[in-house]
Amino acid sequence: MNTLKIALQKSGRLSEKSLGILSECGIKLPDFKSKLKNTATNFPLEILFLRDDDIPKYVENGIVDIGIIGENEVLEQKRKVSVIRRLGFANCRLSLAVPKEAQYTGIQFFSQKKIATSYPNIVSDFLKKKQIEAQVVEISGSVEIAPSIGLADAVADLVSSGSTLLHNGLTEVEEILQSEAVMISNNTLQPEVAEILDALLFRIQAVLNSRENKYILLNAPNSAIKSITELLPGMKSPTILPLADSGWSSIHSVVKENEFWQIIDQLKKLGAEGILVIPIEKMVF
């Protein structure tokens, strides 16, 4: 029987959420968890656990069909793989940072400077585009200490909360790119395997949709239904049910999580009461 082979990070920032998304897709792994390889019990999926740096190479040469990896790593390695889905976790940015006492007046600062990074290709391409000549020094870990030990004048490193830079006396001055976990694929899947991948992507999309959206229920006077439904378009259009109290209705709809806080005040002003916002488990359009 055909199986789809996926590579996930063995242990690190991507591991838990990569397994989590498969689990939300209803894919079950055997109780016995091998550290290297596993086969799902209810979906034709084989999972290989690797160091994240190795995943693009394994996908490119077909040892696995797909992988979950930080987009930063895909862009750095420039291998023949395609990003087939952005997954919305492990969000971060690759930024240039300088010692906080440096007089930073603009990107020209980096001219003839030494920049330490684990992403030499991305950083060199960025500097070239900006027509800055600088020396890019590749180091594989603890990039942020490079300026304080005299190894470099500046760094280009991944940032999420910014606290690592702060602790090391560095200031973020230029964002090079934004990154998140992505699913990559090699471009030569057998049709039977591509079919399994389509089934997996369908499930993943339902999970991602449900994360972005919430189910909203509220009570409103009938006179406000029109204005409220304009604020809450829903998947097709909102469901409106009469309440036992005459003159009032219950309105059910779907709202984007990040839009909810923007419209809540307007809903209240229009007379909405008893507003409930409920997570959605899966969402298929």
Contact footprint for Zn ion (CB under 5 A): 52-53
Q: Does 53 bind ligand PRT (CB under 6 A)?
A: yes
Residue 229: other Cβ atoms inside 10 A: 16
Q: Give me the least distance between CB of 274 and ligand PRT, in Å please.
A: 39
Q: Does 2 bind ligand PRT (CB under 6 A)?
A: no
Of 18, 84, 80, 83, the C-alpha closest to 48 is 18
163, 236, 247, 285: residue in contact with ligand PRT (rule CB under 6 A):
163
Alpha-carbon span 275 to 264, nearest angstrom? 9
Structure tokens at 122: 């991305």
Site for ligand PRT in 5-24 (CB under 6 A): 9, 12-14
If the CB atoms of residues 120 and 169 are measured against Zn ion, the closer one turns out to be 120
If the CB atoms of residues 52 and 65 are measured against Zn ion, the closer one turns out to be 52
Question: 200: helix, coil or strand?
Answer: helix
Q: Does 73 bind ligand PRT (CB under 6 A)?
A: yes
Q: Does 158 bind ligand PRT (CB under 6 A)?
A: yes
If the CB atoms of residues 11 and 34 are measured against Zn ion, the closer one turns out to be 11
Long-range contacts of 14-19 (CB under 8 A, 24+ apart): 14/52, 14/68, 14/69, 14/70, 14/89, 14/90, 14/181, 15/49, 17/87, 17/89, 17/90, 17/181, 18/68, 18/181
Q: How far is CA 37 from the centre of its chain?
A: 24
Q: Does 51 bind ligand PRT (CB under 6 A)?
A: yes
Q: Give me the least distance between CB of 52 and Zn ion, in Å please.
A: 4
**Which position has the token pair 């656990």?**
49
44, 56, 67, 70: residue in contact with ligand PRT (rule CB under 6 A):
70
Buried b (16+ CB within 10 A) or exposed e, 36-52: eebebeebbbebbbbeb
Q: Does 162 bind ligand PRT (CB under 6 A)?
A: yes
Which of Zn ion, ligand PRT, none does residue 246 bind to, with CB < 5 to 8 Å depending on kind?
none
Which of Zn ion, ligand PRT, none does residue 147 bind to, with CB < 5 to 8 Å depending on kind?
none
Q: Does 153 bind ligand PRT (CB under 6 A)?
A: no
Site for ligand PRT in 165-204 (CB under 6 A): 179
Of 180, 177, 190, the C-alpha closest to 211 is 180
Amino acid at 64: V
Q: Give me the least distance between CB of 261 and ligand PRT, in Å please.
A: 24
Alpha-carbon span 187 to 124, nearest angstrom? 27
Q: Give me the least distance between CB of 163 and ligand PRT, in Å please.
A: 4
> Nearest-CB residue to ligand PRT?
70
Binding site for ligand PRT (CB under 6 A): 9, 12-14, 51-53, 70, 72-73, 90, 92, 157-164, 179
